[in-house]
Amino acid sequence: MRCLRRILGISWQDRVSNKNVLTQAGMASMFALLSQRQLRWLGHVSRMDDGRIPKNVLNGELATGSRPAGRPILRYKDVLKRDLKVGDINPASWERVEVCC
């Protein structure tokens, strides 16, 4: 953010929010950038051959173990499912979705 503010000539004394700075720069929010990169990585891993370590880790399940009481900590798969839903992609059938360009 500091770099964008400097490029646009906005000082902290101008009291311009980060959202407005991103709008002026024509950039997406940090959440959108992270989601885009995570979904891009998911597509890359889904096209990998079976047996590759990243694909096994993404699709693997633990055989044993327990989790502490309370709200479960989000797994990486849960975050990916949330990003798919935000992008109007059905998490159950995301591997069959074809995207042009």
What would the DSSP string read from start to end of 11-52?
-GGG---HHHHHHHHT---HHHHHHHHHHHHHHHHHTSPTT-
Q: Give the separation between CA 47 and CA 56, rounded to whole angstroms.
A: 12
State which residues form the domain around 78: 29-61+69-96
Examine the pLDDT at 96 and tell me if it is beyond 80: no
User: Is 2 within the bounds of a domain?
Assistant: no
Give the chain's end-to-end CA distance (angstroms, integer).
30
Examine the pLDDT at 101 and tell me if it is beyond 60: no
User: Is 49 within the bounds of a domain?
Assistant: yes
Q: Band of the pLDDT at 100, cuts 50, 70, 90?
A: low
Residue with the larger pLDDT of the pair 69 and 98: 69
* Count of domains forming the chain: 1
